[in-house]
Amino acid sequence: MMKSLRIRSFEEYKEKYALSVENPETFWGEIAENFTWKEKWDQVLDWNFDEPKINWFEGAKLNITENVLDRHLEKRGNKLALIWEPNDPKQRFIRYTYRELHELVCQFANVLKKKGVVKGDRVCIYLPMIPELTIAMLACARIGAVHSVIFAGFSANAIADRVNDAQAKLVITADGLNRGAKQIPLKRVVDEALESCPSVKEVIVYDSLAWMPNMVANRDSWWHELVDNESKVCEAEVMDAEDMLFILYTSGSTGNPKGVVHTCGGYMVYTAYTFQNVYQCDESDVYWSSADIGWITGHSYTVYGPLLTGATVLMFEGVPTFPDPGRFWQVIDKHSVNQFLTAPTALRSLMAHGEDHVLSYSLDSLKLLGTVGEPINDEAWKWYHLHVGKEKCAIVDNWWQTETGGIMISGLGNISPMKPTYAGFPLPGVQPVLLNQEGEEIQEADVEGYLCMKFPWPGMLRTTYGDHERCKATYFSQYKGYYFSGDGAKRDKNGMYRIIGRIDDVINVSGHRFGTAEIENAINTNSKVIESAVVGFPHPVKGQSIYAFVVCEKLPEDPIQARGAIVESVVSQIGKIALPEKIQFVTGLPKTRSGKIMRRILRKIAEGDISNLGDTSTLLDPLIVDEIVESAL
Ligand code: WT7
C-alpha cells in the first residue's frame, strides 16, 4: 500500500487536517508524489469558483492505468487484483492477478484502437457487473478515450439521451445480465437506443449468457472474436492531468441528467487517497463494495481507488437476496472479505428478513464496515454494527457525491470517533461549511444549514459535458465563492457532520438519484397527461419513494389502466428503477400566481402529514389543496 498516504491515528488526522487548510498545495503536492507521473506538474492548483476553473497538477503528464496496473507489476504482479463472484453461487468465481488484469486491459485497449477509437473519443459502456466492465473502462483510459458508463437498468431512451449528449462513437455491451432469479436483455435495449444515435459506428458485444442476440452487419462485433490473437501489450497514451477521464451522467433538480466530467490527475490522486484512508486496507486484505459500477461509488471504490492502491477487490454480479437474504454474508465468508461497503437501503431490506440469515455466518474476517448513498437511520446502523460487525468493526459513513469524485466526510478506518447517523469529520483537504438562507457561514453547533465547500479538492467535477454554464449555474451560483452540494446538514459541537438529505428537487430512491423534473418529463410523454408533479416521500426500505400527482384532460375512468400507462411511460423513458410507487390523478396542482408548483404542500400530502400545510393563501386556487388531500393515496 502507499504508506505515506495513510493516516494512522486521530492525532495525525488533526495535524494533517490543519496542514491541509494552512497550505493545501503542500498537502496535495506531497500526496501526489506517491504516483507515477510521466512529467511532474508546474503548479499544484490554479482555481476560481466563479467561472469555475479548477486546474490540479497543471502541466503534469500521466496515464492512470499505469498507476492502476503497471506500477504494481513488480511487487504485486501475482497478487489478486480482482475476485469476481457470480450471481449464481453454484457458478465458478473468477480471479485475476494484477498481471492478468494488466494483460486483459492492454489486449482490449488494442481492440479499441483497431476500431479507430482515439484519445478524446467517447465510449459508452452498458454492461453487467462482470470483470469485462472493469476491463473496458481501464482499456478506454489506457488509450485516452473517455468512458461513459450507463447503469444497466436504464431504458433505451435513457441510453440514447446519454449517448447523444456525449456523441459517443462506440458502445460496449453484452447479450444480457443475471440479476437474482431474473435475466435481463441488454443488447436488445442497446439496439433500440441506437436507432436514434447516429454518432455510434461500432458496437462490441460480450457474450455473457450465450443468448445469440441479433448482430447488426458492419456495426456489431463479438468481444471474444476481437480479443483473439490481439497483443497483450499496449503502450499507455500520455495524458495531461486535466484531460478528461470519464463522464458519468447524474440527475439534478432541473432538466435532463447532466454529464459530470472527471479528469485524469486529480481524480487519480483523490480516489486513491480517500480509499487508502477511509478503508485502511492492509496488503493481504480483501475489500468489497456492493455498489454497481454504473454509479460513482463503483467507479471510485470498485475500480479506481482500490486498484490504484494495489488492493484486492471483490466484485459481485448478484443481489443481496438471491438465492436467499444471506447472500452478502455468505460471500463475505467465502472470500474472507475484510472491508465491506454497502448502502443503508440494502441493510434495511435485509433487516426485514430477520437476523437468522446473518447469524448463520461467522463474518470473522470483517475488520471494517462502510455505508454510503443516503443517510443511515439509527436502527439500521445498530443492526449493521451488532449483527454484521459483531460490535468489533467500526462503521465508516461515507458522504460524497458523483460530483465530488470521492469521499468528502467520513470516519477513517477505526481511528476516528464514531457517532451513529453522523458521517463524521471532513477528510484532510476538504473544507466544508454550512450556510444559512442568506449565504452566511453558520458557526454555532447543531444548526441545520446548506452544505457547501469553500475550497477545491482534486476529485471535484470540472464541468458538465458540453455545457459549462450549467455546471456554473448548478453548483457555483447559489452562493458565490462556494461549491453547493444540494444537501442540508448539521454539525455538532465537536465538528462532526450529520447529513439530513437533499434540499433541492432531487429524490434518493434506494441510493439512486432522480430529479423530479426528469420523472415529470417522462410522465408527461403520455399523450393523456397535461402536467404532473413528482415528490419524494419517506419509505421504510428505500429511504425515499416516488409520489406522482398527475393531471389528465379529465379524471381517468379506469385509473388502474391509466396508472399502467404512466408506469409504461416512466419505464420506457428512464427505466424500472424510477417507477413512482404512488400515482394520484388530480384535476389541478397547487400553484402560486406566478405558476410555480408548491411542492412543499405536495410533499406534506405525500408524507400523510396534512395537519400543517402552511400558508395556502398565495395559491392561484387554494381549493385544489382540499381536493388533493381528499383523494390522497
Ligand atoms: C447524494 C449523492 C456518494 C456516492 C453514492 C451516491 C446522498 C450520499 C451519503 C451519506 C447521507 C448521502 C446525498 C448526496 N448521500 N452519501 N453517507 N449520508 N447522504 O452518489 O448519486 O451522486 O448522490 O447522495 O444526498 O448529495 P450520488
**Closest ligand 1 atom to 399 CA:** 17
Which amino acid, residue 577?
Answer: I
Asked if residue 203 lies in contact with residue 173, where contact means CB atoms within 8 angstroms, the answer is yes
CATH code 3.30.300.30 region(s) in the chain: 510-630
- The CA distance from 315 to 302, in Å, is 7
Asked if residue 516 lies in contact with residue 589, where contact means CB atoms within 8 angstroms, the answer is no
Asked if residue 125 lies in contact with residue 136, where contact means CB atoms within 8 angstroms, the answer is yes
Which residues sit opposite 34 in a β-bridge? Answer: none
- 399 touches ligand 1 (CB under 6 Å): yes
The answer to whether residue 128 scores a pLDDT higher than 70 is yes
51-80 pLDDT, tens digit each:
999 999 999 999 999 999 999 999 999 999
What pLDDT, on the 0 to 100 scale, is given for residue 39? 98
The answer to whether residue 37 scores a pLDDT higher than 80 is yes
- The CA distance from 80 to 77, in Å, is 8
Peptide bond into 323 cis (omega under 30): yes
Q: How far is the CA of 513 from the centre of ligand 1 (A)?
A: 8
Q: How far is the CA of 400 from the centre of ligand 1 (A)?
A: 5
What pLDDT, on the 0 to 100 scale, is given for residue 154? 96
Which amino acid, residue 489?
Answer: A
Give the three cell numbers for residue 541. Answer: 426500505
More confidently predicted of 623 and 243: 243
Nearest-CA residue for atom 11 of ligand 1: 375
b/e map of 136-163 (b: 16 or more CB within 10 Å)?
bbbbbbbbbbbbbbbbbbbbbbbbbbbb
**Closest ligand 1 atom to 410 CA:** 17
More confidently predicted of 363 and 621: 363
What pLDDT, on the 0 to 100 scale, is given for residue 1? 54
Nearest-CA residue for atom 5 of ligand 1: 373
Q: What is the CATH number of domain 10-418?
A: 3.40.50.12780
Going from the C-alpha of 20 to that of each of 126, 453, 555, the distances in angstroms are: 39, 14, 59
- 499 touches ligand 1 (CB under 6 Å): yes
Of 371, 395, 400, best ligand 1 pocket probe by most atoms within 8 Å of the beta carbon: 400
Q: How far is the CA of 485 from the centre of ligand 1 (A)?
A: 10
- 292 touches ligand 1 (CB under 6 Å): no
- The CA distance from 399 to 552, in Å, is 40
Ranges 124-138, 441-455, 503-517: which has the least confidence: 503-517
What pLDDT, on the 0 to 100 scale, is given for residue 111? 98
Asked if residue 454 lies in contact with residue 481, where contact means CB atoms within 8 angstroms, the answer is yes
- 510 touches ligand 1 (CB under 6 Å): no
**Closest ligand 1 atom to 403 CA:** 22
Nearest-CA residue for atom 7 of ligand 1: 374
What pLDDT, on the 0 to 100 scale, is given for residue 596? 85
What pLDDT, on the 0 to 100 scale, is given for residue 620? 84
Q: Which band of pLDDT confidence, cut at 50, 70 and 90, is reported for residue 613?
A: confident
- 289 touches ligand 1 (CB under 6 Å): no
The answer to whether residue 2 scores a pLDDT higher than 80 is no
Of 409, 450, 499, best ligand 1 pocket probe by most atoms within 8 Å of the beta carbon: 499
The CATH number of 510-630, from 3.40.50.970, 3.30.300.30, 3.40.50.300, 3.30.420.10, is: 3.30.300.30
Q: How far is the CA of 455 from the centre of ligand 1 (A)?
A: 20
In angstroms, what is the C-alpha Rg of the chain? 24
- 372 touches ligand 1 (CB under 6 Å): yes
226-241 pLDDT, tens digit each:
999 999 999 999 999 9
Q: How far is the CA of 38 from the centre of ligand 1 (A)?
A: 34
Burial bucket for residue 2 (CB in 10 Å: 0-12, 13-18, 19+)? middle
Of 401, 451, 514, best ligand 1 pocket probe by most atoms within 8 Å of the beta carbon: 401
- The CA distance from 89 to 327, in Å, is 9
DSSP 161-229: HHHHHHT-SEEEEESEEEETTEEEESHHHHHHHHTT-TT--EEEEE-SS-------TTTEEEHHHHHTT
Phi, psi of 623 (to 5 degrees): -65, -25
To the question of pTM greater than 0.75 for the whole model, the response is: yes
Work out the average pLDDT over 161-170: 98
Which amino acid, residue 444?
Answer: E
- 515 touches ligand 1 (CB under 6 Å): no
DSSP 335-404: HT-SEEEE-HHHHHHHHTT-THHHHTS--TT--EEEEESSPPPHHHHHHIIIIITTTTSEEEEEB--GGG
- The CA distance from 421 to 344, in Å, is 11
Nearest-CA residue for atom 2 of ligand 1: 401
196-218 pLDDT, tens digit each:
999 999 999 999 999 999 999 99
**Closest ligand 1 atom to 400 CA:** 3
Which amino acid, residue 374?
Answer: E
- Residue that has been written with the C-alpha cell 466530467 in this structure: 261
DSSP 241-272: TTSEEEEEEE--SSSS-EEEEEEHHHHHHHHH
523-539 pLDDT, tens digit each:
999 999 999 999 999 99
Q: What is the mean pLDDT of the chain?
A: 96
284-304 pLDDT, tens digit each:
999 999 999 999 999 999 999
What pLDDT, on the 0 to 100 scale, is given for residue 255? 77
- Residue that has been written with the C-alpha cell 450556510 in this structure: 435
CATH code 3.40.50.12780 region(s) in the chain: 10-418
The answer to whether residue 3 scores a pLDDT higher than 60 is no
Q: Which band of pLDDT confidence, cut at 50, 70 and 90, is reported for residue 615?
A: confident
376-431 pLDDT, tens digit each:
999 999 999 999 999 999 999 999 999 999 999 999 999 999 999 999 999 999 99
470-504 pLDDT, tens digit each:
999 999 999 999 999 999 999 999 999 999 999 98
Question: Which helix (H) or strand (E) covers residue 291, if one does?
Answer: none
- 401 touches ligand 1 (CB under 6 Å): yes
- 490 touches ligand 1 (CB under 6 Å): no
Going from the C-alpha of 153 to that of each of 126, 388, 577, the distances in angstroms are: 9, 29, 7
